[in-house]
Chain A
Amino acid sequence: MKKIEHDCILIKKTFLNQDNILLTFQSQIISDTAQPGQFVAIKGPAFLRRPFGIAQVDRSSGTFSLGIRKKAAGTAAFFNTKISDNYSVLGPLGHGFELDGLETLFIIGGGTGIYPLLFLLETAREKGITTYIATGFRSSTDVLLAEEMNRLADGFCLATEDGSTGIKGFAQNALEKLWLDFCNNYRRDFDNSKSDDDKDLVEHSFEKSKTALFCCGPHPMMQKAAMWAKQIGLQCQVSLEERMACGIGICRTCAVAVKREPDAEVIKTDAGAIKNEIDTVVVRQEPEFDYDRCCVEGPVFPAEVVEW
């Protein structure tokens, strides 16, 4: 039987700014098995565990890190943690990003959503995937992990709403700028190709089927980015967040509305047994979509199934 609960010692605390902290825990099994986009559920002083996307793993030292923003009492408690304290951690949990078959990856992140993107960038780099990341913040004082993003990604564009650093605007503006630059470079390389072989080479360097957009951040940001990806024909995966209790799929509280697969209509299977009875059954008004569990089927979903 698999082990789900791990005792993890806090070994490092890095303050990124007053309200953001990176906590590093010891756990060989979590660092060995975690995939980008997965999360852990950690028990602090609050009643329920808190789910956090895994921000970094270091397999050689058997550690993993979580980025935490101070929101309310539950998250604030993690700012008072002490090195060498022991924490009960469930994980790694959920379904992460699918990187198989990708060669070029566009990424958009904002808010606490940028933490799991560190792990994603590192993994993509190991797999030889070219990455372009766009992040957005309110102002220069809110900017997080810019150095790391710049170091790990092949292309990085930062936006702030007040324009105090990077381009002025939202993460979406930064994403569109990265995309435009990418397309222009591609066209220029193609036009400058001297032979047909060169043209083939350039053409091969960008295939839409091997290119994707991954999103992690505030809901409206991801919704907008997913619409944009659909317009230009890029596959898109989004990492969603929902209030959660157990983290392991048993309580059904972290419901995410997803489009129903026509074949998956369960009610059909009882047609035989219930057919004659159906007249007497009060048929309830049920929504058109289904509810998946953010903690098991997610947190990463293909954007096209999400009922925004």
Chain B
Amino acid sequence: MVDLSVKVADLTLKNPIIAASGTFGFGQEMAEFFDISALGAISTKGFTRLPRKGNPAPRVAECDCGMLNAVGLQNPGLEVVLQKELPFMRSANATIIANIAGDTAEDYIYITERLAQENIAAIELNFSCPNVKEGCITFGSDPQIIESLTAECVKRSPHPIWVKLTPNVTSISDMAKAAEQGGATAVSLINTLLGMIIDIETRRPILHNNTGGYSGPAVKPVALRMISEVYNSVSIPIVGLGGISSAEDVAAFMIAGASAIQIGTGLLVEPSLPWKILAELPELCRKLKVDRISELTGTLELWT
């Protein structure tokens, strides 16, 4: 029997597979077709204090081995999440990671406080959405803000605080260190890479937001490099994501340093992907000669 359970600091997940924020809604649509309780956890659609309508369409553009999105954090707002979405997820026995976002530091602090009494596994601070004008990525590109805002949230929360990092910075290790300094329980990386696609006939970007976040298999090498780098820079656990679309990818991310992983864009194309990978992991572990999948974490041997 292969043990698929993993630990992200003190939090034990039954397997390393987490649905990535923004690619799973709040689980309701997927629960019609799949057992959402079988996943290690679900990171909710990023939500804000007040409802948000998001960006005008087009919000998605396909590109080589992936896609760009600029949804702009469309979400029903904290109160609806508390009254409707989280209760549904609990009723479906899903392990909940609450992904939260805001325009201001106060937004993050307020939501963190309101989540204090909720039965959730962790809070993921979204410091990395590239598709909104305020907060998010602007915070995630400044180590001082990452550290101070993480500390403010940690101070006010009984839940583990994960910080989701953007790759659109000069040194992601500096950002991870700042999160660790601020008391984060874990860092999740990478969010999407900021990009643009151009329609040469209209000479306009396809996305109405002009730019969007690049995700999918194309960003996987970037994610692996960053995870490996961050693993050697901080001692808090890493939740890895960026283009994962097979059981082998999961293993590679864990070997690079991830304690758990998230699947996002891959499941938008193939909704059954997380469950398919889950079914393949035991066999892969046997092949890689580990009894516990967690043994893979950080076993990368760099060339010297």
Measured CB to CB, the residues of A under 8 A from B are 1-5, 43, 46-49, 74, 88, 90, 242-246, 248-257, 266-267, 269-270, 273-274, 277, 280-284, 286-287, 289-291, 296
Contact = CB atoms under 8 A, between A and B. Distances in A.
A163 to B, nearest CB: 28
Contact of A251 (B33, B268, B270): B268
Contacts of B52: 284, 286
8 contacts: A47-B63, A246-B271, A266-B76, A270-B79, A274-B49, A282-B107, A284-B103, A286-B51
A249 B58 contact: no
Contact of B54 (A43, A48, A283, A291): A291
A280 B105 CA distance: 11
Contacts of A296: 29
Interface residues of B, number: 53
Nearest to B62: A48
B246 to A, nearest CB: 15
A269 B65 contact: no
Given A2-B32, A5-B271, A49-B269, A251 B23 contact: yes
B53 A287 contact: yes
Given A281-B50, A284-B50, A269 B80 contact: yes
Interface in B122-181: 134
B271 A242 contact: no
Contact of A74 (B54, B62, B77, B103): B62
A245 B77 contact: no
B49 A281 contact: yes
Q: 8 closest A-B pairs (Cβ-Cβ)?
A: A270-B79, A253-B60, A253-B59, A246-B268, A243-B58, A4-B33, A249-B29, A255-B57
Nearest to B76: A266
A4 B55 CA distance: 28
Interface of B: 22-25, 29-30, 32-35, 45, 49-67, 69, 71, 74, 76-80, 83, 103-104, 106-107, 110, 114, 134, 206, 216, 268-272
Nearest to B28: A249
B33 A291 contact: no
Nearest to B103: A282
Main secondary structure of the interface of A (DSSP, over half): loop
A51 B76 CA distance: 26
A288 B55 CA distance: 13
A126 to B, nearest CB: 28
A266 B51 contact: yes
B32 A253 contact: no
Of B51, B67, B74, B269, most A-chain CB atoms within 10 Å = B269
Contacts of A49: 269
B30 to A, nearest CB: 7
B32 A1 contact: yes
Contact of B216 (A2, A47, A266, A280): A47
B121 to A, nearest CB: 20
A217 to B, nearest CB: 18
Contact of A250 (B25, B65, B77): B25
Contacts of B64: 47
